[in-house]
Structure 1
């Protein structure tokens, strides 16, 4: 799908230049700048964190043996942050108070109801150590003062190349090949979709267009989570690239309007013949040469139809022939 970058980038740049009276402005500054991650932002996840390890929380301690200052969490965090003032900090009284949790924790207490996995790398990757519900313990030698992210695991946590999704059930995660980093990240599937959509659709477009885009992005990722046989040169399995070879995934790029579209359509699925649709899309009616009509959607076309009052389901059925929305 190497054509995909041509779909929308040029159009966004044109919009930016037009809006600013023809002044040349970089696409990134107009379309993608100044956005906080909905998954890993300390500000967004800080509610309820009070420096007390309450029931239902997962807590890091600055020192071994559950001593020193602690930092409490109620959910997964993809990147604990390395610098003040944007990192998650140790909050309670004691040694280490105010320091960033990332790469500074020595022990944990898991008071949540799920197994929690602590990772060496951000994005839930690299070496890890699991702590069952109720467990206290020290981080092992690979992770002590080298912790970057943690994840609350479902009871059926996919491992290796496996996915827990089906054509009727969303996968909980997707394997994303980070091309510039040369690594594979297992990303929560909803986090993935929310951090793709603003890079493939213009976030200021009408709601129906964004909803249609959310369905296409989700369906494309869902399809490859079920069907990919891709592997890196080193033999790691992955489902999608983070680039225009698949869909553009940028951690931390989620926006309010596009995330709302993902939430609004999350319970819906798009199938053809009972199978999840591999939903292609591109910028205009001339940018997708070689794709069969009925298998792809025009992004700008979705915008225009939304402006004309079309619903997102009508837009999808216009572009993708023979689909069932349920």
Structure 2
């Protein structure tokens, strides 16, 4: 009987560890890079070429300026966002700012891509994942994109 109790406790502890390790959009930090897809963090996936072609990168939430990743800073400054998925595809390693042509919004909120840094100027808006227009070629910001923002009020 004692062995069954210990096994049950062990199973609960392991399950709790796995559940706490899974990232979620509720606790993801703005500007964090994630793998593109619905893996628990739901980024905006940005492609180098139109029609979901070429290298890509997934970024969660708000980004003030694609030229400065706040999570990649040192005393020398901040590194820019780059296309980081698809090392054998066109655009891999290229700066993201002013080089994106297509997006796929995996997030549960609408997201905008802006022409200027600081969320200003013309913008392309993408609906939440699974609703309306949540992927497609950029229009107003095709190869002229500098920032992104989630449209969800207090998120």
- For normalisation by structure 2, the TM-score amounts to 0.64
Q: Which has the higher contact order (CA 8 A, sep 6+)?
A: 2
Which has the larger strand fraction? 2
Spell out the pairing of 1:275-314 with structure 2 (5 A cutoff): none
Counterpart of 2:138 in structure 1 is 139
Deviations, residues 138-194 of structure 1 (Å, cap 9, x unaligned): 000x3100000010101x6xxxxxxxxxxxxxxx6xxxxxxxxxxxxxxx9xxxxxx
Deviations, residues 46-87 of structure 1 (Å, cap 9, x unaligned): 4x53xx3121111100000011000101211010007xx711
Change (3 A) 1:151 1:104: same
Distance in 2 (alpha carbons) for counterparts of 1:45 and 1:121: 16
Q: Secondary structure at the match of 2:141?
A: coil
2:86 matches 1:86 = no
Spell out the pairing of 1:22-61 with structure 2 (5 A cutoff): 45-46=31-32, 49=34, 52-55=35-38, 56-61=42-47
Q: Secondary structure at the match of 2:122?
A: strand
Counterpart of 1:117 in structure 2 is 112
2:94 matches 1:108 = no
May I ask how many residue pairs the two structures share in their alignment?
110
Distance in 1 (alpha carbons) for counterparts of 2:135 and 2:119: 21
Deviations, residues 205-226 of structure 1 (Å, cap 9, x unaligned): xxxxxxxxxxxxxxxxxxxxxx
Counterpart of 2:56 in structure 1 is 70
Which has the larger helix fraction? 1
Spell out the pairing of 1:1-326 with structure 2 (5 A cutoff): 45-46=31-32, 49=34, 52-55=35-38, 56-81=42-67, 86-93=79-86, 94-134=89-129, 135-140=134-139, 142-154=140-152
Distance in 2 (alpha carbons) for counterparts of 1:45 and 1:70: 15
Distance in 1 (alpha carbons) for counterparts of 2:128 and 2:50: 19
Q: Name stretches of at least 5 consecutive residues in structure 1 with no aligned partner.
A: 1-43, 157-171, 173-187, 189-326
Q: Name stretches of at least 5 consecutive residues in structure 2 with no aligned partner.
A: 1-29, 69-77
Q: 4+ residue runs of structure 1 moved beyond 6 angstroms?
A: none
Q: Rg larger in 1 or in 2?
A: 1
Distance in 2 (alpha carbons) for counterparts of 1:131 and 1:110: 6
Equivalent residues of 2:31, 2:62 under 8 A apart: no
Counterpart of 1:224 in structure 2 is none
How far off is 1:45 after superposition? 4.0
Distance in 2 (alpha carbons) for counterparts of 1:88 and 1:75: 14
